[in-house]
Structure 1
Amino acid sequence: MNTLEAIILAIIEGITEFLPVSSTGHMIIASSFFGIAHEDFTKLFTIVIQLGTILSVVVLYWKRFFQSFDFYYKLLVAFIPAVVLGLLLSDFIDGLLENPITVAISLIIGGALLLKVDEWFGHENGTEISYPTAFKIGLFQCLAMIPGVSRSGASIVGGMTQKLSRTTAAEFSFFLAIPTMLGATVKKSYDYYKAGFVLTSDQVNLLIIGNVVGFVVALIAIKTFIGFLQKHGFKLFGYYRIIFGFIYLSIYLIEIYNKK
């Protein structure tokens, strides 16, 4: 991975992490385009630069983190399903990450569902999140363990099914990203450490660049997304996912055909 590739991947991460379009799917596709998808450092890079996007949430919503301990307890309750399933299905999930067909199909199906989300749940306006609601949102978030299923999209829709407004569901999804992404980063980093993977000075610099770029881009993406969501809902994201999924699936199948 060179500096330009690191910057591009970080921009993609910053834009897509909090949008319902699947950051993992986009990162897999972009790194495959660069021909670096199977490199160990690339896999570590795509996880570690999530720290920058996490920080953007803390900076934008810092006042919310000083309101009450109840806020943290609800995040913990919502985080539990991801911890349990993540540990149980770790190897299976890693296998899915290598499958472009899974990514493409998930993008298309998720897009079709987003076209209907506003019709089904867009009229809700709840703002209070109970413990059962937090846990159910956490269950929805687990769907994002399938590559191509957006973590933010799954958790936002999960919140809307519990009668939360778009904005409230989206903001809770942002907060839930902090323990979820931090946990994934720590686990994956420890796995690489146990495997004897040692970072070079150039790779450390790329991680720093990736986190800084991801942080700045995520700040802009979050503010823009909230405003857009309030005015226009999810349909545009649904159409984008469907089109992008079919294009990627077509390119992949053509490559397979040409190799025969």
Structure 2
Amino acid sequence: MSILEAIIIAIVEGVTEFIPVSSTGHMIIASSLMGINKDEFTKLFEVCIQLGAILAVVVLYWKKFFNFGKPQFYLKLFLGVLPALILGYLLGDVIDGLLERPEVVGITLLLGGIVLLYVDKWFNAPTIKSDEEMDYFKAIRIGLFQCLALVPGVSRSAATIIGGMQQKLTRHAAAEFSFFLAVPTMAAATGYKLLKHRDLILGSAENIKLLVIGNIVAFIVAMLAIRFFIGALQKFGFKMWGYYRIVVGIIILGAFFMGYQMEA
């Protein structure tokens, strides 16, 4: 992987991580179009640049994350992330196997897009305007929705935002809690990968350089993407993202069935 390729993949990650379109599906498309060899480091890179993206959430919402006078916020995050951590640990090998199958990503993108076309109609009577009004049981239920994102292509943000809206959160409140929940979820997943493959990273100065550049780019782009998404969600709802997912899903499935090799 060259520096330019690393920058492009990091841009894709930063743009798509927090909007309901599946960063996994988009990185598959981007890397395939550039002809990047999906070796062990490339797969690790696509996971580890999530650190830059989640740092953007911490910086943008620093008052939430460093308000130690309200420990209930941290408890809600812990309860919300717990189901995905447990299930991810138990089904790690199965999930890794699904990541190798681009047709799975295409199908989940397509089906998820159809769901997003109707979400605004299904959950149109919210009563909770912020995570502070949400109880601990709702945090757990949203965490159960997040487990759906263990299937590649589902989109973690889509699953958690829909889960939040199903629990009577407004679109804005559901989106923000989805951002908050991403921090411990993705930090745990990335930290595990970094620890597991530390020799692969530390054994090469080039790999370290690519990871540093990738995380910086993902951080900057994610900051811009989060701001854009909140505004677009308030104004347009989910339908535009639903149509977009359907198109991308069809592209991936079409390429797969035509024999085009898209390495996940």
Greater shift, 123-132 or 47-56, is seen at 123-132
Q: Which residue of 2 aligns with 1:239?
A: 243
Q: Which residue of 2 aligns with 1:92?
A: 94
- Paired residues of 2:202 and 2:208 also in contact (CA < 8 A): no
- TM-score, normalised by the number of residues in structure 2: 0.93
Q: Which residue of 1 aligns with 2:60?
A: 60
- Paired residues of 2:113 and 2:246 also in contact (CA < 8 A): yes
Moved over 4 A (4+): none
Q: Which residue of 2 aligns with 1:159?
A: 164
Query: Are 1:144 and 2:128 an aligned pair?
Result: no
Q: Which residue of 2 aligns with 1:113?
A: 115
With over 3 angstroms needed to count, the CA separation of the structure-2 counterparts of 1:171 and 1:148, relative to structure 1, is: same
In the TM superposition, what is the alpha-carbon distance from 1:37 to its structure 2 partner? 5.2
Deviations 1:38-62 (A, max 9, x none): 2111111111111111111011111
With over 3 angstroms needed to count, the CA separation of the structure-2 counterparts of 1:199 and 1:33, relative to structure 1, is: farther
Deviations 1:7-32 (A, max 9, x none): 00000000000000001121122223
User: C-alpha distance in 2, partners of 1:32/1:142?
Assistant: 27
Fraction of identical pairs, as percent = 57
Aligned to 2:36, the other structure's residue is in SS state: coil
Equivalence map 1:1-260=2 (5 Å): 1-36=1-36, 38-65=38-65, 66=67, 68-127=70-129, 128-193=133-198, 198-255=202-259
- Paired residues of 2:162 and 2:174 also in contact (CA < 8 A): yes
- Paired residues of 1:28 and 1:37 also in contact (CA < 8 A): no
User: C-alpha distance in 2, partners of 1:240/1:130?
Assistant: 33
Give the RMSD, CA atoms, in angstroms: 1.5
Gaps of 5+ in 1: none
User: C-alpha distance in 1, partners of 2:198/2:170?
Assistant: 42
Aligned to 1:137, the other structure's residue is in SS state: helix
Deviations 1:82-101 (A, max 9, x none): 11001000000000000011
Deviations 1:185-235 (A, max 9, x none): 1111222237x6654111111111101110110000000100110111000
- TM-score, normalised by the number of residues in structure 1: 0.95
- Paired residues of 1:107 and 1:149 also in contact (CA < 8 A): yes
Greater shift, 38-47 or 132-141, is seen at 38-47
Work out the number of aligned pairs and report it.
Answer: 256
- Paired residues of 1:125 and 1:166 also in contact (CA < 8 A): no
Aligned to 2:259, the other structure's residue is in SS state: helix
- Paired residues of 1:37 and 1:43 also in contact (CA < 8 A): no
